[in-house]
Structure formats: C-alpha cells, structure tokens
Amino acid sequence: MLTFTACAGGRTGAGSVAGLEPPAAGDGAGVFQTGVASWYGDDFAGKATANGEIYDMHKLTAAHQNLPFHTLVEVENLENQKKVLVRINDRGPFLKDRIIDLSLLAAQRLDMADKGTAQVSLRVLRWGGAAPDGIAFLEGSRECYVQAGAFSQKANAEDALLTLGEIFPELGFRIAVEDNLFKIISGRLSAAPDCREVLAKLAAYHLPGFIRDTDIAPD
C-alpha cells in the first residue's frame, strides 16, 4: 500500500501529486490503496470542487488527496464486497485515517451512506488525463452503435448510464426501450472499427457490450 502525505488547505485546494507515479503496466487493476472511505454531501452541494467542477453529490465522483484529476477508481467496500466506479475531481479527505471521500451516490452504491464510513480498497482503472477520453464521431458510409446493457428495471439502467457517462462523456450513451427492456445505446459511430474501440474500452472496465447496426428510436 502506498503512503501519501495529505495536502494542506481546504477541500478546494489544488493538492500535490509530487512523487506519485502511475501503476506499472499490467498493475492497473491491482489494489492501489486500502483504508477508510467517507462521503460528503449537502454541505458541499453546488460548490466548486478542486478541479473547478461544481460538486454534484448525485454523480459518481470522489475526492482523493493525491490521485490526478479524472483518474477512474474502482472502490470496493470490504465489509460487503460491493463495488462502484468513481472519477476523481476533488481533493480530500483531510482526516489522516481516511483515504477517499465519496459522493453521496457512490456511498449509496456501496451501502455505506447510513453508517458514514467503511473499510475499502481502491483499484486504479484509468490513470489521470487532462480530461476524460471520448470517441470522435466521424462521417462515413457505414454506421454502427454499441449496446452496453439491457435491464428490466429502469433504475438499474440509470445506474449503469452514470458509470458509462464517466468513462465515455462524449459518446452520447442513452437509455432506450426495446422489447420491454431498458437498453443503453451509444450515439452513432462511423464504422465498425470505432465500435470495436468502444468495446475494447468497455472490456478494460469489465463491462459488457456488443455492436449493433441499428439504433433504437426515442420514445
């Protein structure tokens, strides 16, 4: 487990990443850190996070003392084995026995919101970046779409859509109804190679997906 030095200042302080290096190739899915997670909500709602975004406690984000902004982290509650994928967009927590401060929604996904804290492990799935990567929409004669799940309950589809929005913020995933199921469909991609690129990224996050050549008309 890595040992970090907490940054000084308030929650919106820039923080320090000096001396912190990405995991070695092949180690991105390994345990990066273990410790106590907490969450923050109403007191910070609508205020600026350390990277300049407006904090929305109903999104899957988190604060970490050192990890670069836009790093994607899988957080596992070691008390119940529930997991959630969050994007780092803030600095904190500043209590020395805490390693990550989750949004309310992320805490709810881990079933720790009522308790307030939980013992967790962190796995880095994507290391930093100036901004989350998207897939360019290119003009072409062949079109394809990626379906990234089908759910009988709309709430489950909405949860999956939040996660996909963090991984592919520019891809235009949406929920559409087909065959009495709530399906998550990407925006139009120019050709099969583009769709295969999306599938490869989904697989890297252990998420399902397949290519389809037809869209679903909106309701």
102 confidence band (pLDDT: 50, 70, 90): very high
* Domain map (residue ranges) of the chain: 31-126, 145-212
Percent of the chain exceeding pLDDT 90 equals 26
Look up the pTM and report it: 0.60
| Record: fold of 31-126 | Barwin-like endoglucanases (2.40.40)
pLDDT tens column, 136-167: 333 333 678 888 888 888 988 998 899 888 88
pLDDT score, position 109: 93
pLDDT value of residue 63: 93
Percent of the chain with pLDDT over 70: 77
CATH superfamily ID and name for 145-212? Sporulation related repeat (3.30.70.1070)
Q: Quick check: 201 pLDDT over 80? A: yes
List pLDDT tens digits, range 53-91.
889 999 899 999 888 888 889 999 999 999 998 999 899
Q: What would the DSSP string read from start to end of 20-68?
A: --PPPTT-TTSEEEEEEEEE--GGGTTSB-TTSPBP-TTSSEEE-SSSP
Task: Work out whether strand 145-151 and strand 181-185 pair parallel, antiparallel, or are unpaired.
Answer: antiparallel
DSSP annotation of 214 reads -
